[in-house]
Amino acid sequence: MILFLFACKQENKNGLPEEWYRVEGGFNNINDSAGFENMVLRLYDDSTYSRYAANFYNYGTWQWNKAEEWLTLQPVSGDPIAENQILQVSKLMNDQLKVQKIKKEGNVILRSKQSINFLNNNNKSTIDPFSRANNIWRIKPTSSETPSQIKDRTVKYLEFLKMFYQHALDNDFQVVTSGWYPAPLQMNFSNGFRMAYNTEVKDWYACFYNEQEGIEAYKMLAATVHKTQVHHIENKAERNIDIIEQILKVIELPKDN
């Protein structure tokens, strides 16, 4: 499923058509190694954007080319997609938009054979877990952090996670994509959660100055597991919010700090 969610409700000063701010769409049975088969893109009226897909998250700036009717996304930071993305848009019947990815090689424009149709926006949540502000915990620091700073980064991760599941709950999403963010807490199971294995935390460690500081953060989370109860709540997003709220109440610095 592909989702386009936009924050503004009127035409941007840069001339972006109003419908680009209120679009949500989806389709199934697409095989795209870049993860575009499950994507959320948010455009903000200060010409910045954020987006995630099955296996990446990035943010940056956007520019609308009115004459060509295409949107250029220029990432500032993100993984693993680093190059500009150009999306060409054309209006279809029933308020749908046809979107094609474009490559420019010199003066030659190459359009992907595959196009995507997007429908009107049905986002019911006022929470924005995809914004850069709510993902600052994943930006690698340039110097070593104190135990308190490591805890603060970890708490911001938990707050992000709570927002993400609340957004899913508000929109009644049946499937929640979890592969686009580091997950020391593995919460995608129907009967509970667990701490990630050693092979599953490389991207988590990358959020910290070095691996050792990432391990310290992991230990803070692991220390909360025996203090947390998994309540039998049918909705998985609601259950995970309950778990995260419990963890936020009991997380603390290691005793030797």
pLDDT at residue 79 in the model: 58
Question: Taking a C-beta distance cutoff of 8 angstroms, is the pair 62, 45 a contact?
Answer: no
- Whether 100 has a pLDDT exceeding 80, the answer reads no
**Tens digit of each residue's pLDDT (9 = 90 or more) over 198-229:** 999 999 999 999 999 999 999 999 999 999 99
Q: Which of the four pLDDT bands, split at 50, 70 and 90, describes residue 66? A: confident
Question: Taking a C-beta distance cutoff of 8 angstroms, is the pair 45, 12 a contact?
Answer: yes
pLDDT at residue 122 in the model: 63
DSSP 13: T
DSSP string of 115-165, one letter each residue = EEEEEE--------TTSSGGGGGGSPPSS---HHHHHHHHHHHHHHHHHHH
Question: Taking a C-beta distance cutoff of 8 angstroms, is the pair 121, 43 a contact?
Answer: no
Higher pLDDT, 217 or 173: 217
As beta bridge partners, residue 49 has: 43, 60
Higher pLDDT, 47 or 9: 47
pLDDT at residue 47 in the model: 85
Out of 2.40.128, 1.10.3470, 1.25.40, 3.30.70, the CATH code matching 3-120 is 2.40.128
pLDDT at residue 62 in the model: 86
Question: Taking a C-beta distance cutoff of 8 angstroms, is the pair 4, 23 a contact?
Answer: yes
| Boundaries of every domain in the chain | 3-120, 133-250
Q: Which of the four pLDDT bands, split at 50, 70 and 90, describes residue 255? A: low
**Tens digit of each residue's pLDDT (9 = 90 or more) over 142-172:** 999 999 999 999 999 999 999 999 988 998 8
- Whether 230 has a pLDDT exceeding 50, the answer reads yes
